Chains A and B, each alone.
Chain A
């Protein structure tokens, strides 16, 4: 006798609202006439995100491990991460709204007559908005999913739109398409590992849910080969998504090739979602087997922090520098995962907001620095920009200082929280390596700031364009939050503390 499934729609509503908005966006793309489309898509997307956030705020104090039978568990950490992803998506869409970054028709051949005609007549497609929202819905599901089917489906729902979005750039289209190809092939490869790992863990425990896995580990008696291989393969899938060494090789290429607003959105929101899911899998599902995975993940955290910080030094392209910086930050966040305590979870929640907004702001500034051929991402051509446009250069410096973890910025508070959580859990060597990696990282962040302010301009063709209103709003919001969380971290940190729990 089958019982019909019971769904708690109030708790699932934020995800469903985003999905519905995305589908509405597809219909708008098909039926509304060209002139209105871009503006309508933007309005609908932002409205959908605001409504979803409002619903999320309404249910913030509820929680249930049975929101969709045993597949979804809405709890404090899940709600906080969903809120984070919605905020990051809101700011990201403000950046994406500048259609100048996207190919008018992604299917047209680069440099072809059709492309030129589409550009000239203004027949631009705006499918990037629904794609973003589909990715957001997957990101919101990923950290709250508690069985391996849902985890896999959420992983793919968040990844597939991102593969396409990476290939939508208007300028340097071959580079952009190549980024999409690399991201797709490596992403599909890693999710196949994730799936096979899930199959092995199912073979070990006989259950697809994380709770069933914990029970099986406690009970013993299963085949440990399946457990260990399963943990290894699932970890490969997760570590790829967060961009940890040795699964980081896609990061610099994709960050460089993708349209800059997409890079910002991807870097910020994917990290929050993937680390949320990683934390839940290790915390809820594999806690009982922590002696099998903790040493390896700790080593990966160490290598990731150091590699990201050292490899960034030799880079000249700002988007690649930010990519290596994001690898280093993945290492810091892995430190929080390895801590396996409540303060580690709270630190991870706080860090994903602080890092996400600073990243969006930094990539927002990158979109503004251009010459006649488009964005200039070579930092050697940024020399002396601080004299031409001090405000933009100062804002960029603020974000870089936040990445570096200089006091009075949000990045400092985030790093401090992570290191104190690691200290609390007894992983002192992780704290030492983390501080060392931060010190190395300060070098290349400061180098950029020095180039901006204390060098003479090398050529005059590079300039800062007047930002479109929405880009200005996005950068302004990110800058305000970065300073505010640095000056008064308790505003958000107390909230993160309260929400830092998982329901089993």
Chain B
């Protein structure tokens, strides 16, 4: 099977994530879409690593996983704090700062 198909797959996943962030209204779902984008980047890193025959891309994907885990911790903390004070995780409800 042609390795470059994985590049197309990662581009597709990234696009789904990027569109999802824009159209979904629930903070948790938006956050999941961002994670999908990070994982698409991981897939791209690993595929390119295979194509170029060096290991840097695979190492990069490990770092991405660690950073994504940290981001989950911070992100969920913020979303849970918002949910507790508003009883809603919708980003449309959080609009006090609109002019």
Seen from chain A, the residues whose Cβ lies within 8 Å of a Cβ on chain B are: 106-107, 109-110, 148-149, 152-153, 156, 160, 163-164, 167, 173-175, 177-182, 184-185, 188-189, 192-193, 195-196, 198-200, 202-203, 206-208, 252-253, 256-257, 320
Contacts and interface: CB of A to CB of B under 8 A. Distances in A.
A499 B10 CA distance: 41
Given A107-B81, A153-B63, A181-B78, A198 B97 contact: no
A156 B18 CA distance: 19
Contacts of B21: 185, 189
* Pairs of residues from A and B, 3 with the lowest C-beta to C-beta distance, nearest first: A192-B37, A206-B52, A199-B44
A198 B77 CA distance: 28
A211 to B, nearest CB: 13
A184 B78 contact: yes
Contact of B71 (A110, A160, A207, A252): A160
Given A206-B52, A207-B56, A184 B74 contact: yes
The contact size tier of chain B is 35 or more
Contacts of A107: 81
Contacts of A188: 31, 34, 71, 75
B38 A163 contact: no
Given A156-B67, A175-B96, A177-B85, A202 B45 contact: yes
A66 B57 CA distance: 20
A246 to B, nearest CB: 14
Contacts of A184: 74-75, 78
13 contacts: A160-B71, A164-B78, A174-B85, A180-B78, A181-B91, A185-B30, A192-B18, A196-B44, A199-B48, A203-B7, A203-B48, A207-B56, A208-B57
Contacts of A196: 14, 37, 40-41, 44
B37 A200 contact: no
Given A174-B86, A185-B30, A192-B37, A202 B77 contact: no
Contacts of B85: 109-110, 173-174, 177
Contacts of B17: 192
B1 interface: no
Interface in B45-73: 45, 47-48, 51-52, 54, 56-57, 59-60, 63-64, 67, 70-71
Given A149-B60, A192-B37, A196-B37, A177 B81 contact: yes
Given A192-B17, A206-B54, A177 B82 contact: yes
Contacts of A152: 63-64, 67
Given A174-B85, A178-B82, A257-B97, A160 B70 contact: yes
Contact of A181 (B27, B41, B48): B27
Given A175-B97, A188-B71, 16 more contacts: A149-B56, A160-B74, A163-B78, A185-B91, A188-B31, A189-B34, A192-B37, A195-B41, A196-B41, A198-B60, A199-B44, A199-B48, A200-B44, A202-B57, A203-B51, A257-B97
A206 B56 CA distance: 8
